[in-house]
Chain A
């Protein structure tokens, strides 16, 4: 509370930090989000700039520990690990994006349907969510990737098709709560049609929840993609996916090539944390309760 006061009560904040908006919380949140988005943009950009040159074997520079020429070192075939990691992360981002898009559409549809189309629809959707939540997510991913025929297609379909239940629950609860809200009921009594109520009174509440749920789903999808490829589901061993890089590094652990596994994993962790920062900060910014900070 004291911190929030300093933002508005002090008439002229001085210094560079203040000029950049770092002296108040909302400014810092914005900056954190900006940095995360920059990281997201940097990954495909680096992969594009580096091209596919580092992916080809170059036996002259085998097993090099990290250096300025090869920041992440090279693998036993002389491939540049930084380049492989970046290409792997691009793949992770693509799968994550697709999974988020598919899951969000499914969740929005099922969530709204279950909350508005009456008891039967609600029972069916709740039942579906129940089924998907009872089988451990990893088992479900393995099952569906097998069903989809394995390969990279299996990984993509499995990750895209299994991330909707949690978001569906959130949306269903939110719509149910909104339907019972006093201002929605009042608007109905004043004669506004269901579409108008949905657009003016429900959507503004639903949208932030939906958006944040979507962004927070992203890291899960990325981690599951990496997990599946690590287990060896799909994707040829030459495709640079983070899971494959880590699985490969397992074979070279005992010879002391620590950089093969550690650095790609750390890069993945950084990417996951960026998603998280983006989601939580957007949540805080959109929450009307923190508007004064």
Chain B
């Protein structure tokens, strides 16, 4: 197990190295002038001498390779550089923003996992029944729904028409993050989290449903029935424990989509999280922040995949010890 984790860590470092080389190369190919991007609207007021000064301050007058080695050396020390639009160290911006997004993503993650699991098991247990068809139709429809459109729809119904939820942001206007109560935070989180869960739930539903059907067709389910167990009993005592692991694994493996969805949802609800910062960095050419977010999001997704893998090894007795000796079956 420890050997496995060490191997994963090495893999992660190699992956991060590759991602940083690749993304830095890409970014330095961009025709958008970073000095222009930094100056923004004041572009007419700045003379050529000042431009040179700005370029020198950001190290932009040096060739790309030299810039990369400097950036990578700082990166290794945990210094991601300074964000050009927030005028703060990138690590601080990301830490602050990520804390906001984490609330949102965690809530959406738990909700979609819970509802997806329950709906999937119920639909699979009574396959082809009315409920199953309804759930399947829902999952099918939602699998192709644009996240931002759904957010718009919810905003229209709950904030504009019914007026039960706030229209935007993470706190009421005029309230600083420190003053906001838990209740205020939650009311502002409900709609974005609901948007993410409603879209994210369909994958879990379809997966869980399929696994439940498989479990109910197994020999042990047949044997339990022969002993007089009801469908509900078979589901509770036999299917559930076989279905829950794949469902949790799937939830961990889809962290990348959750992250992508949160970018769109945060844009709809003006939620000041990491997603919004990503969009700002991309649109306004904040290279250090953009590169930092690329790396952090890669770690996020990688952690999810590793968690999924580890869960299998820890919980499922059929996998695990044998894998390490064979050097991993995959």
Given contacts A137-B256, A249-B152, A269-B146, is CB(A230)–CB(B264) below 8 Å?
Answer: yes
B18 touches A127 (CB 8 A): yes
CA distance A246 to B160 in the complex (A): 16
Given contacts A127-B18, A253-B155, is CB(A227)–CB(B294) below 8 Å?
Answer: no
Mask, A169-184, CB within 8 Å of B = 1, is 0000000000000000
Chain-A contact segment, one of B19-27, B115-123, B127-135, B316-324? B19-27
Residues of chain A within 8 A (CB-CB) of B26 are: 143-144, 147
CA distance A253 to B165 in the complex (A): 14
Residues of chain A within 8 A (CB-CB) of B30 are: 146-149
A131 touches B18 (CB 8 A): yes
Which residues of A from 131 to 158 have beta carbons under 8 Å from B? 131, 133-140, 142-150
A272 touches B144 (CB 8 A): yes
Residue of A with least CB distance to B300: A136
B174 at the binding interface (Cβ < 8 Å): no
B156 touches A262 (CB 8 A): yes
Given contacts A147-B27, A246-B152, A268-B149, is CB(A231)–CB(B301) below 8 Å?
Answer: no
A219 at the binding interface (Cβ < 8 Å): yes
How would you classify the secondary structure of chain B's contact residues: helix, strand, loop or mixed? helix
A253 touches B152 (CB 8 A): yes
Interface bracket on B: 35 or more
Residue of B with least CB distance to A254: B160
CA distance A144 to B298 in the complex (A): 15
A43 at the binding interface (Cβ < 8 Å): no
Given contacts A147-B30, A223-B146, A227-B147, is CB(A131)–CB(B156) below 8 Å?
Answer: no
B290 touches A143 (CB 8 A): yes
Which residues of B from 253 to 286 have beta carbons under 8 Å from A? 256-257, 259-261, 263-264, 267-268, 278-279, 281-283, 285
How would you classify the secondary structure of chain A's contact residues: helix, strand, loop or mixed? helix
B146 touches A226 (CB 8 A): yes
A111 at the binding interface (Cβ < 8 Å): no
A256 touches B160 (CB 8 A): yes
Residues of chain A within 8 A (CB-CB) of B146 are: 223, 226-227, 230, 246, 265, 268-269, 272
CA distance A231 to B29 in the complex (A): 22
B279 touches A147 (CB 8 A): no
Q: Among the listed B15, B143, B285, which residue makes an inter-chain contact with A146, where contact means beta carbons less than 8 Å apart? A: B285
A261 touches B152 (CB 8 A): yes
Q: Which residues of B contact A (CB under 8 A)?
A: 15, 18-19, 22-23, 26-27, 29-32, 141, 143-149, 152-153, 155-156, 160, 167, 256-257, 259-261, 263-264, 267-268, 278-279, 281-283, 285, 290, 293-294, 297-298, 300-302
Beyond A149-B32, A219-B144, A233-B283: 16 further Cβ-contacts under 8 Å?
A131-B15, A134-B15, A134-B256, A136-B259, A139-B294, A142-B278, A143-B294, A146-B290, A147-B27, A148-B30, A149-B30, A230-B267, A253-B156, A265-B153, A268-B149, A269-B145
